Amino acid sequence: MKLYFAPGACSLSPHIVLRELGIDFTPVKVDLAAKTTADGADFKAINPKGYVPAIELDNGQVLTEGPAIVQFLADSKPEAGLAPAAGTWERYRLQEMLNFISTEIHKQFSPLFNAANPDSVKDAQKAKLAQRFDGIEPLLAQQPYLTGQNFSVADAYLFTVLGWSKYFNIDLGRWPAISAFVERTAARPAVAQAVAFEAQAKKV
């Protein structure tokens, strides 16, 4: 299996999940500006959307979109417990959370990465993000992870997008439970390995 990733991008989420599951994979760095892989291949020939993450299976099948990828990976090793069984109420709760992170947190960050946007737009986006953080703060004050006591693929995704806060002077200290969640998740060996690997890849 190959994971197409870019350091600092949302592909960190499936990267964490792959390491949590102990699945053998080959990380392939992508230049998102040039749309090429580290070995010079045309990334859009692999994923016509032109963005990461994408995984390529040994049979040549390619899957894109982070929430779909992490569920696929979790289902490949259900005994690890990173996602409840398909068709259960708990699984729909997980999907609810993945969709919330994707649409209400991940995408709210997107305008902040656009240097052409004026400060007024960016300030409005930060205010929207603060509202979303206000919404999940009470949940994480009651339990260590988004769906309860156990780490799930949703936590890998939330950890990834929360990591962008530092780029835009968003102080997560305003939300103590969220800050504790970030620290707790960062301390997991698989998470630390993925973060360290991508930090090194960013230098190359």
The per-residue pLDDT for range 108-125, each reduced to its tens digit, is 999 999 999 999 999 999
Which CATH class for the 89-188 domain?
mainly alpha
Q: Using an 8 Å Cβ cutoff, are 32 and 10 in contact?
A: no
The answer on pLDDT for 195 being more than 90 is yes
Whose structure tokens read 């992490």?
A: 70
Alpha helices in 53-118 (DSSP H): 66-76, 89-100, 107-109
Q: How would DSSP label each residue in 145-203?
A: BTTBSS--HHHHHHHHHHGGGGGGT--GGGSHHHHHHHHHHHTSHHHHHHHHHHHHHHH
The answer on pLDDT for 160 being more than 90 is yes
Could you tell me the pLDDT band of residue 204, with boundaries at 50, 70 and 90? confident
Averaged pLDDT, 181-196:
98
**pLDDT, position 38:** 94
Environment class of 144 (CB within 10 Å of its CB; exposed 0-12, middle 13-18, buried 19+): middle
Q: Where are the domains of the chain?
A: 2-80+190-203, 89-188
**Quick check: do 2-80+190-203 and 89-188 share a fold?**
no
The answer on pLDDT for 156 being more than 90 is yes
pTM score: 0.97
* Structure confidence by residue, pLDDT tens digits, 23-70: 999 999 999 999 999 999 999 999 999 999 999 999 999 999 999 999
Domain 2-80+190-203 is found in CATH 3.40.30.10: yes
What is the layout of strands, in order, in the sheet containing 2-5?
36-37, 26-31, 2-5, 54-56, 62-64
Calculate the average pLDDT of the chain. Answer: 97
Q: What percent of the chain has pLDDT over 90?
A: 99
**pLDDT, position 1:** 97
